[in-house]
Amino acid sequence: MRLSLGSPCTLPSTSSSTHSRIQCCTLTHTQPIRLNRKQPLENQPLKKWERLLHPVDSADSMPSWFPAHRPVKLGDRWMEYQGVRNWEGLLDPLDDNLRGEILRYGDFVEATYKSFDFDTSSPTYATCRFPKNTLLERSGLPETGYRLTKHLRATSGIQLPHWIEKAPSWVATQSSWIGYVAVCQDKDEIARLGRRDVVIAFRGTATCLEWLENLRATLSHLPKVDSDKGPKRHGPMVESGFWSLYTSGTTMGPSLQEMVREEIKRLLKSYGDEPLSLTITGHSLGAALAILSAYDIKTTFKYAPIVTVISFGGPRVGNRSFRQHLEKQGTKVLRIVNSDDLITKVPGFVIDGDNEVANNKENLNVAGLASWIQKRVEETQLAYAEVGRELKLSSKDSPYLNSVNVATCHELKTYLHLVNGFVSSSCPFRATAERVLSHHNR
């Protein structure tokens, strides 16, 4: 598929008072980044089916495909880019500064994939390949200005049958490295961002038990908090498997929830008196864990700073009450969604008629059904609600994707490619927004 030539359109520039002309969906002020166009993205060979589990191949270098535009100083507008106004006026057309921030947080997520040991024959399978002090550099992010402060692990709460002992050890891997916490320490980067930023980054599904947890799609009640009123059956509920991975621990180690709380408590004590933001980002399963972490942080810490979630290709997480609790807390969620990605349309059904995406037929929305039918759907514990604001992209809009398949549409590199190319709903892709992807073709 190729974009047809169109007449120039003019959009306000986000970095100056001048205007940027878009010819054939091409931003003339943006330097081109070259894409390996010998093969379309979806035709580049998959190592094996496990590419669905780790959509970013390991590579020694990432800066070769960084966005060409230079990071700009956010200054007093940093809270706007963190979603304090729900990104009003920044998504369509996509503000170029926001684009840069989304891609920057996407790079932190890619580092989780590049740091994870996917080799099932390795004695260190499902652990982090790098120590904290070199993880970002060895993952291809040498000059972020951030320093890792905590490795994070997630544990499945599934009770395994006795016969599993006869299976290969990797099949029953119960606890695995899931991501990290990093804090901005560089003075120049703090000045550019307008505050000190704390990043929590999560990878997507990688182990057998994580896949099984993903399939536990029925909703489970969250523990009641002091602000909850009314019967528990009307309270916040989330996908059972995601909650299990977030809250389960072992006799040998704490849960992901405990690790996040402990580290955030320490960081708030260290930096709570200065401008501070908590940005939680993740892809696929990691996107769901990011939302649960944000909810838990705002529930646990009364004076927590602004908490923002930047999610890529995330599934649905909870019901309407859960979404209402997130909104009441002030948690800001920006969901990056590829409309061709099936993972963003599961699990369950969206029956919530007052959400902006509930009217989208692609979301299997059943809004408008008779109330008794809605009640029956809710009783199945499969009635979900979308959260936050949505930046909707489409693989079909890219001139570098000749066809659409399930694996390519869900890959993180596809999401970053689409973010880098998106202009607006009326001009969905700029021709100069190319990415060097040759280091993925191995």
Of the candidate ranges 108-112, 156-160, 174-178, the one whose mean pLDDT is the lowest: 156-160
**pLDDT at residue 334, rounded to an integer:** 98
Q: Name the active-site residue from 95, 107, 341, 397.
A: 341
pLDDT at 314 over 80: yes
Architecture of domain 49-56+72-425: 3-Layer(aba) Sandwich (3.40)
**pLDDT at residue 230, rounded to an integer:** 60
Q: Name the active-site residue from 151, 283, 325, 410.
A: 410
Q: Look up tokens 């501070």; give the residue.
A: 276
- The predicted model gives 283-297 an average pLDDT of 98
Q: Look up tokens 């309270």; give the residue.
A: 235
**pLDDT at residue 23, rounded to an integer:** 38
- The predicted model gives 295-316 an average pLDDT of 96
Q: Using 50, 70 and 90 to split pLDDT, how confident is the model at 327?
A: very high
* Spatial contact of 268 and 301, defined as CB atoms under 8 Å apart: yes
Whether the model pTM is above 0.85: no
Of the candidate ranges 14-23, 151-160, 328-337, 370-379, the one whose mean pLDDT is the lowest: 14-23
Q: For residue 318, which phi and psi values (nearest 5 degrees)? A: -150, -175
* Spatial contact of 412 and 62, defined as CB atoms under 8 Å apart: no
Q: Using 50, 70 and 90 to split pLDDT, how confident is the model at 431?
A: low
Q: Judge whether 341 counts as a catalytic residue.
A: yes
Q: Name the active-site residue from 20, 115, 255, 284.
A: 284
- Look up residue 67 and give its amino acid: P
Of the candidate ranges 6-15, 92-101, 239-248, the one whose mean pLDDT is the lowest: 6-15
Q: Judge whether 248 counts as a catalytic residue.
A: no
Q: Which residue has the higher pLDDT, 389 or 164?
A: 389
Strands (E), 257-340: 276-283, 306-312, 332-338
